[in-house]
Amino acid sequence: MKRVWAFIGIFVAWLLIFAIQKPLFMAWYHGLYADTSWTDWLAVMWHGLKLDASMAGYLTIIPGLLLIAGIWTRRSWVRIAMKTYFIIASALVAIIFIADMALYEFWGFRLDATPLFYFFSSPKDALASVSWLYIIMGILAIFLTFFIIYGVFNSLRLWKKDEKNVQRLIVNCQLSIANLILLVILFIPIRGGFTVSTMNTGKVFYSTDMRLNHAALNPAFNLMESLSKQKDFAHQYRFMDDVEATAIFETMIDKSGKGNRQSSIVNRQSPNVLFIILESFSSKLMATLGGEPNVAVNLDVLAKEGILFSRFYANSFRTDRGLVSILSGYPAQPTTSLMKYPRKTQNLPGIARSLKQAGYEATYYYGGDADFTNMRSYLMAQGFDKVISDVDFPVSERLSKWGAHDEVVFNRLLDDLTVNGQSSMVNRPWFKVLQTSSSHEPFEVPYHRLDNARLNAFAYTDDCLGRFIHAFKQLPQWENTLVVLVPDHLGAYPEHISNLTPDRYQIPLIMIGGAVKEPKVIDTIGSQHDIAATLLSMLGLPHDEFTFSKDMLNPANPHFAFFTVPDAFGMVTDDNILIFDNQAGKTVYDEGAHPGANLRKGQAYLQKLYDDIAKR
């Protein structure tokens, strides 16, 4: 019976380890959970037991099989295999626990596959946001957690040498059957019962307070579920039958993609186009849009000189998703980043590709590592002739953790514009994109105007932008250029903003330059993936292949904003602002004259988006 009790002990030990992690998580974020009661803490542990038991079941399968093998042989390989398994399992769980606790502050959701993508694409850039002290403390915490977890299983004496002789055949058979029965029983907690619905993260969501639901999640299960969903696009987000989804979707797309519409914005036929993608900027930094009055002072000035889209939204919460939305007119996804699939991104439409077909040249400027998150492969597939990144700057100019500071990148672009303006290249229209990076953690910039380090970093990038625009206006190319200013997403400020509020996605879109007819404010609702159709339509170019992008200047089009975050989507229209949490399976934000009006629209839109991804 010793092996039967060992089997049960392993499962119970994992269950307790996962259960104890929850109050530790809440204690670490004591400020976030300061107003919760002790009954809330108990409720979190109680409701979280479903996922804890499922994960404990998964982790008990292999040692359960080894216990059966140990019944029939006393060879050392069984003990070695058992010990090795618990070393690996304890290490992985320790890493997951600490990584989850460390990252929640920055991401606002429990650990999933997203950070792995960033880390493995470029560890240097993935760690650039945190200090070495923070990393060292994290590593020490991982080792401490590992030794505690491993010590628990070591105390069960699972790999101690058994000096007894092999039992009689009938006893061995009985013990084997008992352990096999326990293995079969494990599939109950693993699957989550006998109902049609299998175990998933949504089963532990019990409260209207999302903080408590997040605390109840098992980070190991959440990561495993996230990894399992990465490629199964065709079967994700099935809210309705395809006929209904298609019918709803058809009412939400732009059907005027042939181009040749008279532009109300630009006064040139084929102007140069410059995109400046501002790292982490938001409406909250602009006094013009009701934000901080003394941060993005140059953006405030430029907003009055050009076209300001005052009701504009980011598609997501990270740069890689924002870039695809901006440059390909393609909505972000809640469970993955399309950049990690070069085979699919090479089939996406792109502004650069469309403009190149119209005779433009295309160049991309970025002070950081262009290989981070597969960015280079995406940009090259989009049709950019040249990608200028950190390796194209002298080491002496790469003084930021992300590479070259923004002023260095702006100066490089200005130098190129000056040279090109004096050559024959000026006769060929160009499309250039500059992506900033300094207004990102750890906010270390060569600029000191504001006391708040975060706001000071934004003020620095804004200052670099202002000085660049002032210098660019002195060049002859300015009169024939359309400059598009747009953030990649909101980040860093306001601090601790929830992912499940529309404020999290409000950003400015500003168009300036000599090619702009006149200043105006446009209050049409739109989001980043609408830039492609709007721009191409302004230039009289077709945008048929941009299925999800809408011309925001065409009053005949439906006007709405769509955004996603793990694992939720939001939709904004004039009569309803709605956010739906896919894990919880319920609406978590619903305001406007017609509550709930956007639920089926958003579900159909997301379902058709994943249908489209599956086909690419």
* pLDDT, tens digit (0-9, with 9 covering 90-100), for 230-262: 667 888 899 999 999 999 999 999 877 666 565
Confidence (pLDDT) at 235? 84
> For the chain, how many residues are written?
616
Confidence (pLDDT) at 244? 97
In a 3-state reduction of DSSP, which class is residue 565? Answer: strand
Section 269-294 average pLDDT: 94
CB atoms within 10 A of CB 536: 24
CA–CA distance, 249 with 251 (Å, rounded to integer)? 5
Section 586-591 average pLDDT: 94
Section 371-395 average pLDDT: 84
Section 124-142 average pLDDT: 74
Confidence (pLDDT) at 118? 59
CB atoms within 10 A of CB 85: 17
CA distances from 340 to 67, 112, 327, 483 (A): 40, 15, 16, 29
Report strand pairing: 361-366 vs 430-435.
parallel
CA–CA distance, 512 with 304 (Å, rounded to integer)? 9
Burial of 335 (0-12, 13-18, 19+ CB in 10 A): buried
Section 569-594 average pLDDT: 94
* pLDDT, tens digit (0-9, with 9 covering 90-100), for 452-477: 999 999 999 999 999 999 999 999 99
Which amino acid, one-letter code, is at 393? F
Section 266-286 average pLDDT: 93
Confidence (pLDDT) at 425? 46
User: What's domain 253-353+395-559's architecture?
Assistant: 3-Layer(aba) Sandwich (3.40)
CA–CA distance, 415 with 411 (Å, rounded to integer)? 6
Higher-scoring residue by pLDDT: 39, 76? 39
Is residue 8 over pLDDT 80? yes
Confidence (pLDDT) at 202? 61
Percent of the chain with pLDDT over 90: 50
For the chain, the structural domain boundaries read 2-228, 253-353+395-559
Confidence (pLDDT) at 497? 85
Q: How confident is the model at residue 424 (pLDDT cuts 50, 70, 90)?
A: very low
Confidence (pLDDT) at 128? 59
Tokens of 251: 């009412």
Section 323-332 average pLDDT: 96
Is residue 338 over pLDDT 90? no
Summary mean pLDDT of the chain: 86
Is residue 4 over pLDDT 90? no
CA–CA distance, 80 with 161 (Å, rounded to integer)? 10
Section 211-220 average pLDDT: 85
* pLDDT, tens digit (0-9, with 9 covering 90-100), for 597-616: 999 999 999 999 999 998 88
Confidence (pLDDT) at 262? 57
Rg over alpha carbons for the chain, rounded to the nearest Å, is: 27
Confidence (pLDDT) at 261? 61
Q: How confident is the model at residue 116 (pLDDT cuts 50, 70, 90)?
A: low
Q: How confident is the model at residue 124 (pLDDT cuts 50, 70, 90)?
A: low
